[in-house]
Amino acid sequence: AQSVTQLDSQVPVFEEAPVELRCNYSSSVSVYLFWYVQYPNQGLQLLLKYLSGSTLVKGINGFEAEFNKSQTSFHLRKPSVHISDTAEYFCAVSDRNDYKLSFGAGTTVTVRA
Amino acid sequence: GAVVSQHPSWVICKSGTSVKIECRSLDFQATTMFWYRQFPKQSLMLMATSNEGSKATYEQGVEKDKFLINHASLTLSTLTVTSAHPEDSSFYICSAPMGPHPSAFFGQGTRLTVV
């Protein structure tokens, strides 16, 4: 079984500032890693995913994440945020033989002008 | 791109009644779909895996008779909350994987309020 820990429950940030959302996972097997964004009363949208290959993954809306196997981390970053990035962000993990996703508790990002 | 459509987006029902939520994959076939429940300000908890043509697989602690899942076709899974009670009020979200990787597509969610 896998588990995901998102280290920050809330992250306030000013517009045009950088943001980093931290995610650590634990698993006894090789995994796939994901970041999703959820806007109020909506479903989840995939931001990016790590399946294999390069450990630096670029996603939509200017987000990127780096897979660090030794630290079992998959932190999400954006160099300059917009007001529209205000949302809930979820890190998720799946083992390579299963479609099931295990989600972290989520990080609320609030971008202020 | 691939889309998962969930209907209705919100529903209010009386205690004791049943509510059906639909999850459709619009331009791809999904032999497997997932149903999640999300409480306010919390993460998604997997309730069950819906399998086309066979019984759903429920996660531990989820009442099978309470949350009936039917996956009658390759593009439709339904979740029926039977004899709903106020504690069943929640946000329910479905998802469907596409291809060999589980980067699932999610429906827009259904806000259920039981009064």
Count of C-beta atoms within a 10 Å radius of residue A12: 11
pLDDT of residue B4: 92
Could you give the dihedral angle defined by the CA atoms of residues A4, A80, A66 and B93, in that order, rounded to the nearest 10 degrees?
A: 40
Q: Which of A51, A101, A106 is the closest to B104 by Cβ?
A: A101
**pLDDT-above-90 percentage for chain A:** 77
pLDDT of residue B100: 63
pLDDT of residue B42: 83
How confident is residue A105, by pLDDT bands cut at 50, 70 and 90?
A: very high
Q: With an 8 Å Cβ cutoff, are B32 and A34 in contact?
A: no
Task: Reply yes or no on whether the pLDDT at A79 is more than 70.
Answer: yes
Residue pLDDT, tens place only, A50-74: 988 999 999 999 999 999 999 999 9
Who's near A68: CB < 8 A, 6+ residues apart?
Answer: A55, A74, A75
pLDDT of residue B43: 86
pLDDT of residue B101: 64
What are the backbone angles phi and psi of residue A101, rounded to the nearest 5°? -105, 135
Find out whether B23 and B94 touch, Cβ atoms under 8 Å: yes
A35, β-bridge pairs: A48, A91
Q: How far from B33 is each of A29, A51, B41, B84, B93, CA to CA, in Å?
A: 23, 20, 24, 23, 11
pLDDT of residue B78: 97
Task: Name the nearest CA neighbour of A96 among B30, B50, B100, B33.
Answer: B100
**Separation CA A88–CA B37 (nearest Å):** 16
CA A10, A16, A18, A24 torsion: positive or negative? positive
Which of A101, A102, A108, A109 to probe the B interface (max B CBs under 10 A)?
A: A101
Listed as ranges, residues in chain B with pLDDT below 50 are: none
Task: Reply yes or no on whether the pLDDT at A101 is more than 70.
Answer: yes
pLDDT of residue B27: 85
Q: Does B109 touch chain A (CB under 8 A)?
A: yes
